[in-house]
Amino acid sequence: MRSWNAPVIPVLPGKGSAPDLFDTATGGRHVTDGGRLYVCGITPYDATHLGHANTYLAFDTLGRVWRDAGVEVVYAQNTTDVDDPLLERATATGVDWRELAASQTDLFRSDMEHLRVSPPDHFVAVTDVIEPIGEAVAKLLADGFAYRVDTPDSTAGDDVYFDVDRAGSETAWHLGLESRLGAGDMLRFFSERGGDPERPGKHNVLDPLLWRSARDGEPSWPSAVGDGRPGWHIECSVIALDHLALPVSVNGGGSDLIFPHHEMSAAHGTALTGETFASHYAHSGMVAYQGEKMSKSLGNLVKVSQLVASGVDARAIRLALLDHHYRSDWEWFDDSLLTAVARLAEWQRWAARAVDGTEVTPLLTELRRHLADDLDTPGAIAAVERAVASGEAPSSIDVEAVDALLGIRVSA
């Protein structure tokens, strides 16, 4: 499907380093220079809140740092445009689910453009890849990694589940490979995040749904495994496999996707190909508001589009979000914007005094060093603040570095 318009990114003199990035699967850091990026996209309803924006900015920073280091970036992202919460919202508000998904995806595109987030090369709606997902589920069934569970309320056959124990014993994947969680935490997160441990007939309570066979009143499509619709994790495995060579260099998203989503996407990907799914798993922290995780289900949202409509400069939103390290959990306060707005004005006055330059500057070197250090955007912002406070006129390269690496265009 159509992605969104790319911001123009200045090319800087010299070359940055590939980032030394924290990896959820090892609990340590390693230099990541592959450039094949898969980031989980939105479920298109109630988009785009500042939590979403924070997550996409984290991976936008990764893309900017990679490109500056000369790494070729290939970026794929899904939208979960058919799923239970989206269907429930559509029913509750009396809107056709397709219209809800299309309008929210459009809003997301325009929010990403306002925030100057580079678009994925492959922006893929799940409803556009139902057929390959059905084929993948059929292959998992044929290879013994999936099984059917009796589904009397379906009009089309039985649901299909993934067999985590079989995959754990016969492939390079095993439970905990990516999340490093214990059994108790896995069960808790599985229940909280869309799983169904209580479903009778499953081999393991943690086995995730691969294919939900058709029910009356629910959208469904014909497929190699009968009429129905995909389970959640398989969509990201199939879209990543379609567009990126394995292993994916970085599989990313917010930390609420560590388990079960990324664990199971990796399991499906490995069971389908025999290969390691991703060499690195990166997760951004959760943004809270009014004391709780900002989430569509709680409704405690601050949306990018509302701020922009009320006249807030999107660069100030970007600056306010990037002032937190991508891995930290933090709370948004409405006055967070005031600091960012004032800062942006100072940076603009600073940029207006720029003198033409062509060479690598001390500030550029400092920005590169902070960002290669696990994407330390607060460190990079503090470096710009020091340069601005010094009273010295910047080089035009300093101003372009802020644009290219932090995504904030401060020149006129």
3-state SS class at 32: coil
**Residue 253 makes contact with ligand 5CA by CB under 6 A:** yes
Report, in Å, the least distance between residue 212 CB and ligand 5CA: 16
**Residue 402 makes contact with ligand 5CA by CB under 6 A:** no
Contact predicate 94/33, CB 8 Å: no
Question: Which one of residues 12, 25, 42, 380 is an interface residue with ligand 5CA (CB under 6 A)?
Answer: 42
With CB cut-offs between 5 and 8 Å by kind, which of Zn ion, ligand 5CA, none does residue 405 bind? none
Question: Which one of residues 24, 32, 55, 237 is an interface residue with ligand 5CA (CB under 6 A)?
Answer: 55
Whether the ω angle into residue 362 lies within 30 degrees of 0, i.e. cis, is no
Cα(23)–Cα(18) distance, rounded to whole angstroms?
14
Tokens of 275: 């290969």
Q: Which is nearer to ligand 5CA, 78 or 213 (CB)?
A: 78
**Residue 236 makes contact with Zn ion by CB under 5 A:** yes
No. of H helices and E strands in the chain? 14, 14
Here's the x/- map for ligand 5CA, 287-306, by CB under 6 A: it reads as x-----xxx-----------
Helices (H), 193-335: 233-243, 263-273, 304-309, 314-322
**Nearest-5° Cα angle at 171, 165 to 175:** 45
DSSP 388: H
Tokens of 1: 């499907």
Nearest CA to 127 among 230, 244, 238, 242? 230
Report, in Å, the least distance between residue 393 CB and ligand 5CA: 38
Could you list the beta-strand ranges (E) of 309-366. Answer: 330-332
**Residue 51 makes contact with ligand 5CA by CB under 6 A:** yes
Report, in Å, the least distance between residue 187 CB and Zn ion: 21
- Judged by CB under 6 A, the stretch of 165-173, 250-258, 335-343, 353-361 that binds ligand 5CA is 250-258
With CB cut-offs between 5 and 8 Å by kind, which of ligand 5CA, Zn ion, none does residue 375 bind? none
- Judged by CB under 6 A, the stretch of 10-18, 25-33, 47-55, 182-190 that binds ligand 5CA is 47-55
The three state secondary structure string of 71-94 is CCCEEEEEECCCCHHHHHHHHHHC
Site residues (CB under 6 A) for ligand 5CA? 40-43, 51-52, 54-55, 78, 80, 236, 253-254, 256-257, 284, 286-287, 293-295
